[in-house]
Structure 1
Amino acid sequence: MSPRILISGGRVVDPASGGDSIQDLYIAGGRIVGLGAKPDGYAADLEIPAQGHIVSPGFIDLCARLREPGQEHKGTIASEGKAAFAGGITTLCCPPDTSPAIDSPAVVNLILEKTEAAGGPRILPIGALTPELNGRDLSEMGALKSAGCLAVGNAHAPMANTLVLRRAMEYAASHDLLVVVRPEDPYLADTGCVHEGPVSTRLGLRGIPYAAETVAVAQVLALLEPTGARVHFAQISCARAARAIARAQDKGEPVSADVAAHQLHLTEADIDGFDALCHVRPPLRGLGDRDALRLAVRDGTLAAICSDHQPHEPDAKLDAFPSTEPGISSLETLLPLTLALVEQGAMALHPALAALTSRPAALLGLDAGSLRVGAVADLCVFDPEAEWTVGEGSWLSRGRNTPFWGKSLKGRVAYTLAAGRVVFRR
């Protein structure tokens, strides 16, 4: 039976309701049973003093690769699950590019069973649009939905052509599955590894132009009406794509989008010196794009901030820049990078936390991301002023591949609770 937990004296911030006040929060039976006033007959088994801390819903990460099954040398559900809890994340979406791909109920069940055995956060597997992500044939989406997938996508693997994309969107719509699209035209991206701009020219690296993203977004938007699909654009990287998505939303189209936290802080300038820790896909763009993406989060065009967590072994980042593997290990920096947006004046605290909680919950149709009485007690308690240095003594993910290694960040989780149980304590 879940313990009765009192979280006392914290600043309770609930972006879903707009609530923001210092009050006690009462948990019993895995749910929130009281805010402010003590429920009749309540006696706590555990009290968590939260003075000087913020109490918020547990974070919902729309894109995190746990590397299992298939790439356990980079990370496992157990290791990355611990890192997620340390970052305040209680629910995360796992893209389908595991090995084998998440293209059958058997793989979905394997991931869910391993998660249960490891005692990790709630994992929502994203099913593969096409078997083995081959981009040509359609997966059994009805079976994937029955196994627990709320969404389908093809990760970074391209579709063979727009006809296959259309048929896939139609099939997903027939099962009321969200289609997750990482928009990148493979022919325009070609063999690029960084943003096509002055830095790529100076370093002599092949660039990926804006058009690789905007053309892919336009293709999907053109197929919305004939297919009836609901689409979520994952990890948007440029202002032009964000503007196209905003125009579609203004017309009432069923589209949403997210952005990786590092895209809101880093730019193409950070790869100077061939820093492979800043090799990401989609690539880091210009300063104007970074600022436009911040505005798009603030106004809700980009509903969520995700980690886009991709842990790697050290050797993956030690080759020549184009030959290194893209991606950042980022579960544990999701909160401080989001709080840095508030400190820098890019947005207020409520929309920043909403991008980690209530907004991703809404677009996935989850009963989560809220601190209302009766809600499941997925929440975190964090100190927004706590400064810490990213390094060996503070890091739980198996992947050390982060450009923030050795940097001082502000904002740290003290406690994480999942379904009313303490799953992380600093």
Structure 2
Amino acid sequence: MSATVLQNARIVDPSRNLDELGTLIIRQDKIVASGADVRNQGVPEGATIIDCQGKAVLPGLVDARVFIGEPGAEHRETIASASHAAAAGGVTSMIMMPDTDPVIDNVALVEFVMRTARDTAVVNVYPAAAVTKGLLGEEMTEIGLLREAGAVAITEGRNSIANTQLMRRALTYARDFGVVLAHEAQDAHLGITGVMNEGLYASWLGLSGTPREAEVIPLERDMRLAALTQAAYHAAQISTGMSAEVISRAKHNGLNVTAGVSINHLSLNENDIGEFRTFFRLQPPLRLEEDRLAMVEALRDGTIDIIVSAHDPQDVDTKRLPFADAAAGAIGLETLLGAALRLYHNGDVPLLRIVEAMSSAPARIFGLDAGSLRPGSKADMTIVDLDEPWVVNEEDLRSRSKNSCFEGARFQGRVVQTFVAGKSVFTI
């Protein structure tokens, strides 16, 4: 049985609150030893040795919000192309949203995603199933059957559930079948015409804005329903300081509630839109700088549990339009870690907390076998040079779509190599 040994590695493992120089030993698809004391055990005979030269070894990242075009819009992204982009970004597990054509709202589509991922993807791909048929917000799907087939969460993807009674029923079924309901809280009526954050900048650009209350009001409703049903509720991505306060209060009251934030809302604000830069049209929209800072603080103190890329590929035809007509969304699998490490290098958030929010925390929330470098864990990991500078160039991106908010951005910290089940799937 051949082994791979990673020597002189800075092991960053939030599942053990560990950040130390040490050695990891991989046999087949498992980590068999990991830590500072492993250096004294010697090297197994015939092992492949990788000298990390002090570079960091992190658990493979877990991205819990990824939109993929397959089936239905393969020209934007396939499961295979998304997986290669993920590997280049250090992401070894991703949860695929059900916003496809047809929608992932039945067992056959869940099985299709799992089969296609098994045959074509180089990372782990987990399907999330729709809460309602066709994502129309009217008739519930067969949540129990979808869970049994392999769906790791139920969600309406980009959509929100306006019908409060339906939302209550969905949470009740989610509780009974032991699955998390991930919901993007947006009041469809309050923000129906908005294309960016409501405020002075939107007025200056002459664009219709979405108020922060369009997120907070349905989130408050959802907290009441989570308390009523005692279900596991995940706020898929919040963007305002007021929303962070709602989540913090719910956690203080003992609710089984978690929250995510996109890397875009941790890194950017409404001013980055400039003069109608459509790659920065996102949903929820980029907010005020005070909201971005509130997101950073909520991440640091644990109010926000996870960071997601919200990877949402769009093609030229849907982005090279007037700002109000352009599709919302940006790719992010390959830039997730680089952008997040800005928070570390700036001293805003400790490295262990950042890595936790992109590995062990999402794995725990969604029940995935991922996010840890403990002995016995699956050998999903990434080697990262935390100090190497690099510039985002769309020609180097592996995603089929190039709608990145970070084109031309300078990052410090780059993925050098990625392993999935002990096999190298990306090398710089």
Give the TM interval when normalised to the shorter protein: over 0.9
What is the rounded CA distance, in whole Å, between the counterparts of 2:41 and 2:218 in structure 1?
Answer: 53
* 1:229-275 residue CA offsets vs partner (Å, 9 max, x unmatched): 11000111100001101000011100000000011111011112001
CA contact (8 A) 1:237 1:285 kept: yes
What is the rounded CA distance, in whole Å, between the counterparts of 2:72 and 2:395 in structure 1?
Answer: 28
Pairwise mapping of residues 122-141 of structure 1 onto structure 2 (< 5 A)? 122-141=124-143
| Bigger shift: residues 54-63 or 114-123 | 114-123
From 169, 172, 175, give the equivalent of 2:171: 169
AA of the residue aligned to 2:366: L
In structure 2, the residue matched to 1:350 is 352
What is the rounded CA distance, in whole Å, between the counterparts of 1:366 and 1:128 in structure 2?
Answer: 19
AA of the residue aligned to 2:158: H
Q: Under a length normalisation based on structure 2, what TM-score does the superposition of the two structures give?
A: 0.96
- Report the alpha carbon displacement of residue 226 of structure 1 after superposing the two structures with TM: 2.4
In structure 2, the residue matched to 1:374 is 376
- Report the alpha carbon displacement of residue 225 of structure 1 after superposing the two structures with TM: 2.7
* 1:135-187 residue CA offsets vs partner (Å, 9 max, x unmatched): 11110011101110121011122335211111111122221111001010101
* Identical-pair percentage: 36
AA of the residue aligned to 1:120: V
Pairwise mapping of residues 12-27 of structure 1 onto structure 2 (< 5 A)? 12-27=11-26
* 1:395-416 residue CA offsets vs partner (Å, 9 max, x unmatched): 1111111121122212111110
What is the rounded CA distance, in whole Å, between the counterparts of 2:48 and 2:172 in structure 1?
Answer: 50
In structure 2, the residue matched to 1:32 is 31
From 292, 302, 314, give the equivalent of 1:290: 292
What is the rounded CA distance, in whole Å, between the counterparts of 2:299 and 2:45 in structure 1?
Answer: 41
In structure 2, the residue matched to 1:227 is 229
What is the rounded CA distance, in whole Å, between the counterparts of 1:335 and 1:157 in structure 2?
Answer: 26
RMSD over equivalenced CA pairs, Å: 1.4
User: What SS class does the counterpart of residue 172 from structure 1 fall into?
Assistant: helix
CA contact (8 A) 2:160 2:185 kept: no
AA of the residue aligned to 1:274: F
User: What SS class does the counterpart of residue 62 from structure 1 fall into?
Assistant: strand
CA contact (8 A) 2:107 2:149 kept: yes
In structure 2, the residue matched to 1:110 is 112
Pairwise mapping of residues 23-172 of structure 1 onto structure 2 (< 5 A)? 23-35=22-34, 36-37=38-39, 42-172=44-174
In structure 2, the residue matched to 1:204 is 206
* 1:338-357 residue CA offsets vs partner (Å, 9 max, x unmatched): 11001111111111111111
What is the rounded CA distance, in whole Å, between the counterparts of 2:171 and 2:386 in structure 1?
Answer: 41
CA contact (8 A) 2:93 2:370 kept: no
CA contact (8 A) 1:6 1:44 kept: no
CA contact (8 A) 1:377 1:418 kept: yes
Gaps of 5+ in 1: none
CA contact (8 A) 1:237 1:259 kept: yes
Gaps of 5+ in 2: none
CA contact (8 A) 1:329 1:402 kept: yes
Query: How many residue pairs were aligned?
Result: 425
User: What SS class does the counterpart of residue 226 from structure 1 fall into?
Assistant: helix
| Bigger shift: residues 273-282 or 33-42 | 33-42
AA of the residue aligned to 2:12: V
- Report the alpha carbon displacement of residue 297 of structure 1 after superposing the two structures with TM: 0.6
AA of the residue aligned to 1:88: G
| Bigger shift: residues 391-400 or 9-18 | 391-400
What is the rounded CA distance, in whole Å, between the counterparts of 1:400 and 1:69 in structure 2?
Answer: 19
CA contact (8 A) 1:136 1:160 kept: no
Q: Under a length normalisation based on structure 1, what TM-score does the superposition of the two structures give?
A: 0.97
CA contact (8 A) 2:360 2:372 kept: yes
